[in-house]
Amino acid sequence: MNYFEKVYALVQKIPKGKVSTYGNIARALGNPHMARQVGWALHANPSNAVTPCHRVVNQKGELSSAFAFGGKSMQKELLEREGVQINNNTVDLNLCFYDLTK
């Protein structure tokens, strides 16, 4: 399994109504300095229906301006449909963070 496939497998574990961060995914994969590569993997995601990349935000909880499937407004819409509250394009990580390292 290559790195991108490992990213997709982890992201598929994030439940509806929760989010994780690029850095958390990188740490869970044993490469804490590869958060940027996690972003590249998600941008190249072959199937948003299988891998919910909209559930990944940055370390501050901010939505991605480069969300591959319709931009920031689409990521916001998808998260809100799942019950995630968003204020100023930011998710409160204290309320909905899902730690993939555990």
Catalytic residue among 7, 10, 53, 86: 53
Per residue of the chain (102 residues), give pLDDT as tens.
Answer: 999 999 999 999 999 999 999 999 999 999 999 999 999 999 898 887 789 999 999 999 999 877 666 766 889 999 999 999 999 999 999 999 999 999
Written as one string, the DSSP assignment of 11-45 is: HTTSPTT-BEEHHHHHHHTT-TT-HHHHHHHHHT-
Domains and their CATH numbers in the chain? 3-96 (1.10.10.10)
Q: What is the pLDDT of residue 26?
A: 98
Is 96 an active-site residue? Answer: no
pTM of the model: 0.93
Residue pair 11/39 in contact (Cβ under 8 Å)? The answer is no
Q: What is the pLDDT of residue 46?
A: 84
Q: What is the pLDDT of residue 73?
A: 86
